[in-house]
Amino acid sequence: MLKFFNSLFGRVMIALVAGIVIGALFPHFAQSLRPLGDGFLKLIKMVIGPIVFCVVVSGMAHAGDLRKVGRVGLKAVVYFEFMTTIALLIGAVLAYVTKPGVGMNVNLHSLDAASLSTYTEHAKDLKDTAGFLLKIIPDTAFNAFATGDILQILVFSVLFGSALSLLGDKAQKVSSLIDELAQVFFRVMSFIIKLAPLGVLGAIAFTTGTYGVSSLEQLGLLVVVFYASCIVFVALVLGIVMRMAGFSVFKLIRYLREEMSIVLGTASSDAVLPQVMRKLEWMGVKDSTVGLVIPTGYSFNLDGFSIYLTLAVIFIAQATNTPLSLHDLIVVVLVSLVTSKGAHGIPGSAIVILAATLSAIPAIPVLGLVLILPVDWFVGIARALTNLIGNCVATVVVAVWENDIDKARARSVLNREAAFLYVPAGEETNLPGLSVDPAHAV
């Protein structure tokens, strides 16, 4: 029991329960705690850009063969598209089977269009492929870091890493400097992550105080179906994929339980990106593969988003009694394959992407998005968790394809063998024979 209270996972779970209690008993006070959650996420986002840059550049510089880097990237993108398509189909199938919107008989004239104005404005940037491709190119290298756009930072990092790799010994000092900067930023992250319990407390207390405890219990059939869809996708689809790679998805989830508990409280996978990258490296995945697949996956492999896209679109059609033809459904899937790639870094991204998707399908009223606004935060928890697990599985799979993973070490880590337990920086253990690599400790 003492070990639980002293662990980050234990402290986060205690904060989660405390936040719900405070929100239920003192709703007005709970709403004032929102800055704790927002502040924690801002601290995380402050260092995500530099960490992604350092990890990607360092990994490419040490990879040696740029053709290998390109091969890893191509395999990752192919895998992303395949899994995204499966996720979209799962959302559509379960929506038709469970019919969460049937019987609502919503009158569109009764909905408040003003509440959608902010989201539809952002959606204009996602309507065409050319606009999306231009969006991933930063105006300047510094602007990419200033805005915190992961995809833009990734583009610049790949170019910088490629140049560094080609220069070889001539750029050795720059390469060493970036390696050292990475260690500094990861140590900064170790300071920030200790504040995770406060961030989770503020986020969950605000949500409970705003929506009430009943909203946590009775979110409607749409939320239930979405959570069930995510569970099916993770347990069945990702479970089979991981088994084919030689590992267990459930053991991977257990290994990432601390990071997942933070996502559970903040509804943001951004909050754990640096720690997840480090833990995958500690597990035995080569740093160059981690540095390329994880940041790319945060924009291109959004399994949770994909499930929600088709599920929400069909829900709106059912709720507003809008008939959908097979052609309409195919268009939904094809358009979603494009619009889902612009999700990361956009405020209210799920609603924005849905607005962009519906704008390409005149048969379904965009105004129907008002129906799902009240539950967006709650479905956001499952979206973020599914996205996180999907990207970690993708990294392991691509690493297996490229033989960039120490399988024996990975199995030992996932089996929680004492010699390979992961211990964050600043935490102590009394287990004998424990191997802790300072270069991999966060």
**Alpha-carbon distance 290 to 296, whole Å?**
10
What confidence category does residue 314 fall into, taking pLDDT thresholds of 50, 70 and 90? Answer: confident
pLDDT band at 424 (very low <50, low <70, confident <90, very high): low
What is the length of the chain?
Answer: 442
Contact indicator for 94, 228 with CB cutoff of 8 Å: yes
Please give the residue that has the higher pLDDT: either 406 or 16.
406
Q: Which domains does the chain have, with CATH numbers?
A: 2-420 (1.10.3860.10)
Mean pLDDT comparison of 107-111, 217-221, 366-370, highest-scoring range? 366-370
Q: Is the pLDDT of residue 269 over 70?
A: yes
d(CA 82, CA 48): 27
pLDDT in tens, 395-412: 999 999 989 999 999 999
Per-residue b/e over 48-83, b at no fewer than 16 CB within 10 Å? Answer: bbbbbbbbbbbbbbbbeeeeebeebbebbeebbeeb
Tokens of 275: 């720690």
Q: Residues 6 or more apart from 255 whose CB is under 8 A from it?
A: 279, 283, 413, 414, 416, 422
Question: Percent of the chain having pLDDT more than 90?
Answer: 17
Give the model's confidence band at 339: pLDDT under 50 very low, under 70 low, under 90 confident, else very high.
low
As a whole number of angstroms, the distance between CA 159 and CA 57 comes to 9
- Angstrom CA distances, 170 to 158, 164, 174, 432, stand at 18, 9, 9, 44
**pLDDT recorded at residue 344:** 53
Segment of 227-231, 335-339, 362-366, 416-420 carrying the highest mean pLDDT: 227-231
| C-alpha torsion angle, residues 354, 256, 8, 191 (rounded to 10) | -70
pLDDT at 249 > cutoff 90: yes
* Mean pLDDT score across all residues of the chain: 78
